[in-house]
Amino acid sequence: MPRKPRKVIKSRKKPHAASTFAKAAVDKKALRGKSSSALKLRKDKSEERVMVVSRSDMFSLGIWHGLKTDDVNKYINIISRKHKFISRSLAEDDPHWQQIIPYLIFENSGKYFVMQRRGDHSDKRLANKFSIGVGGHINERDIKGIRGYKGGKVDNLVMQWAEREFREEVDYSGKFKANFLGLINDDSNDVGLVHIGLVIHISGDSNNISIKDEHKSGALEILVKVGSHYKHMETWSQIVYDFLKERRSKTYSSSKRSASRRSSPQGRIINMTKPNDIIGILPDWVIAEYVAKNKIHISPLDNKWRENIDQVSIDFHLGNKLKLFRAGTYRFVDTKRGLPDDAMEEVNLQDGDPFILEPGAFAIATTREVLKLPNDILGRLEGKSSLARLGILVHSTAARFDPGWSGAPVLELGNLGPKPAILYCGMPICAFTFEKLSSPVRMRYEGSRSDRYSGSRIPLASRIEKHNPSISHSTLREESLGSDSKSSGRGRKKNS
């Protein structure tokens, strides 16, 4: 059962001191006379009936975290077929329901419409937060006039919902085009736990736009300036900003490659270096060629695997098997004798399943990908900077994969942060770099003294006792602290 969201109490903060928003601030004295009408508005909003889909229906095809841009029509179909209307006050406090929110991103000539909620906003959980999305609930009144609402094409329904929401939330003079980007889900906080966003990009030909809500201010800003508000953004806006930034980076790289082709005499990039001539860390184009030709064997690979390649690395994803230490079973770990077989328990996940890594917890996992290296290339497992900044370690010390290595790379996950972290099966978890040796190694890795984990497809516990072969395995078990010991709970599968 999903956990019921806790009521979050936040201290009142002054609005963010950004000059573009200070100009749009409303004098507090002018708002005092509106307090009674504001209270009535809040009451009316809590009593309105809004569109929801049960969590079990919404995620019947699998759960995800962040912005989902592929296979979205099947989820829109679920919303069209399974939605109902319940009171907003009930939906806000019950994570069994997902409230459907059109979330509109307005852009004009490379600038995005950024809003800031004021401290007196009706939803205190979002007070003073920045947002690049215009959003609101869908109620019965909103959809009565939609053409083809009963049995209509889902993409048409989304666009019509978006148009109504846009005209309801902002004052805008100009023409615009709408493009459906995908669905957004974020279970990391109480607000995201009970909402699903329909993310739509609005491209306008005019910069004459303002927000109607008296509890918000807004301004058009370039993407770099938008990023300066990142720490003070709502989490949905952070997720969308990361998507926009990544998309712009890929567009820039693509245009740069096209320009290089045009500038060369034959209309292509002139590169006199052949992949086999390169010694040292492999660049992106060599990684792509080696993977394509199976010199570096990675499986499984989806159709878009090349998008996982950066300048000198390729992303790997979190696999579906993890191991955790059982609590209370052993008083200590003897590094000469190693771990008994029952010291750790295994957790199995499905793709998209969330997993909570508690503060101070440690887990062993594998990547979804299986890696096989030739005898002249070594690999290095690198953590993701965005995870490290949350206090999440992907590997402790075992980052090198010797030439000839074969198997599913093992991750040594740890949470050094103060808060539980939700990881998702299938999420990008680490990156691999590869280094070409000047000559192949003579000693085969398989069967060598270093080979204790090669060939495995599941997370294996430490085999440190192989350094001490003289110690009998019959002495490995230490004193138990109780026959009714349970899992520590420092890491656990999250119920959805």
Predicted pLDDT of residue 467:
54
Q: For residues 2 and 193, is the Cβ–Cβ distance under 8 A?
A: yes
Q: What pLDDT was estimated at residue 80? A: 84
What confidence score (pLDDT) does residue 343 get? 72
pLDDT value at residue 16: 39
List 100's β-bridge partners, or say none: 196
Tell me whether residue 73 is exposed, middle or buried, using C-beta atoms within 10 angstroms of its C-beta: 0 to 12, 13 to 18, 19 or more: middle
Total residue count of the chain as it appears in this document: 496
In a domain, 94, yes or no: yes
Nearest-angstrom CA–CA distance, 245 and 266? 32
**Which of helix, strand or coil describes residue 209?**
strand
DSSP state of 464: G
- 135-151: burial string, b at 16+ Cβ within 10 Å, e else: bbbbeeebbeebeeeee
DSSP string across 37-95: HHHHHHHHHHHSEEEEEEHHHHTTT----EEE-SS-HHHHHHHHHH-EEEEHHHHHT-T
Is the domain of 317 the same as that of 464? yes
Cα 305 from chain centroid (whole Å): 18
Instruction: Count structural domains, the chain.
Output: 2
Active site positions, annotated: 412
Residue-level pLDDT at 207: 92
283 in the same domain as 217: no
CB 113 within 8 A of CB 132: yes
pTM of this structure: 0.51
Q: In this structure, are 67 and 212 located in the same domain?
A: yes
Question: Does the residue 265 lie in any domain?
Answer: no
Residues 282 and 235 in one domain: no
CATH number of 336's domain: 2.70.40.10
- Asked if 218 and 122 sit in the same domain, the reply is yes
pLDDT digit of tens for each residue in the chain (496 aa)? 444 444 333 333 333 333 444 444 434 444 444 444 444 445 556 678 999 999 999 998 888 888 999 888 888 889 888 999 999 999 988 889 999 999 999 999 999 999 988 776 556 666 788 999 988 888 877 666 554 455 555 556 677 777 878 888 889 989 998 888 999 998 878 888 899 999 999 999 999 999 887 667 889 999 999 999 998 998 999 999 999 988 887 766 555 555 555 554 444 444 546 777 788 999 999 999 999 999 999 999 988 899 899 999 999 999 998 888 766 566 677 777 666 667 778 888 988 888 899 998 888 899 999 999 999 999 999 988 888 888 999 887 768 888 988 889 989 899 998 989 999 999 999 999 999 998 999 887 665 555 555 656 666 655 555 555 554 444 444 443 333 444 444 566 665 4
Identify the pLDDT of residue 463: 53
In a domain, 27, yes or no: no
Q: What CA–CA distance (Å, rounded) separates 427 from 352?
A: 8
177 vs 191: CA distance, rounded Å: 29
Residue 13 is assigned to a structural domain of this protein: no
pLDDT at 279: 86
Instruction: Please confirm whether the linkage preceding 409 is cis (ω < 30° from 0).
Output: no
Contact 415, 359 (CB under 8 A): yes
- 335 shares its domain with 463: yes
Residue 222 lies in a domain: yes
Same domain, 319 and 452: yes
In a domain, 266, yes or no: no
Q: Are 433 and 280 in contact (CB under 8 A)?
A: no
- Residue 227 maps to which CATH number? 3.90.79.10
- Asked whether residue 232 falls in the same domain as residue 341, the answer is no
Lookup: tokens for 316: 């790997």
Question: What pLDDT was estimated at residue 28?
Answer: 40
Has residue 7 been placed in a domain? no
Of the candidates 146, 183, 156, 167, the one whose C-alpha atom is nearest the C-alpha of residue 64 is 183
For 365-413, the DSSP string reads EEESSEEE--TTEEEEEEE-HHHHTTTEES-SS--EE-TT-EE-PEEEE
Identify whether 2 is part of a domain: no
Residues 238 and 317 in one domain: no
Handedness of CA 29, 34, 39, 41 (dihedral sign): negative
Indicate whether 233 and 290 sit together in one domain: no
Pair 286, 181 in one domain = no
Q: Residue 58 is part of which domain span? A: 45-247
Q: Name the strand (E) or helix (H) holding 243.
A: helix 235-263
Residues 190 and 282 in one domain: no
The pLDDT value recorded for residue 466 is 56
Q: How would you write 410-429 as a 3-class SS string?
A: EEEEEECCCCCEEEECCCEE
